[in-house]
Amino acid sequence: MTDEPIPASKARLFDVRRIIGGLFVVYGLLVGAIGLFDSQEQIDKAQGVNINLWAGLAMLVLGALFLLWQWLRPAEVPSGGESAE
């Protein structure tokens, strides 16, 4: 087995913060869009709160925070000189 160094771009591509942040942003956009077009009947079911809109906005903010965290503190690539035994 060869111990070739992993390029930094490949290591950062699958950073869990990017995946979680991206999913929260996508789901936040979908749920928020549904919240924009909710009928009054659906809002009344939630005791007068447009819960889809608020949940979508919360997911957007959380996803943006994850992506901001990933951008401000990128993943460090391990040096690869140490063996895990």
CA distances from 75 to 19, 31, 53 (A): 13, 30, 33
pLDDT computed for residue 50 by the predictor: 94
Among residues 85, 75, 78, 76, the alpha carbon closest in space to that of 5 is found at: 78
- Its pTM stands at 0.74
**Segments making up each domain of the chain, as ranges:** 14-72
Site of tokens 């930094």: 8
pLDDT score for 1: 57
Q: What is the pLDDT of residue 3?
A: 67
For every one of its 85 residues, what pLDDT tens digit does the chain have, with 9 covering 90 and above? 566 666 666 666 678 999 999 999 999 999 999 999 999 999 999 999 999 999 999 999 999 999 999 988 887 777 765 555 5
67 burial type by CB count under 10 A (0-12 exposed, 13-18 middle, 19+ buried): middle
d(CA 51, CA 42): 9
Distance (Å, whole) CA 33 – CA 76: 36
pLDDT at 74 (0 to 100): 83
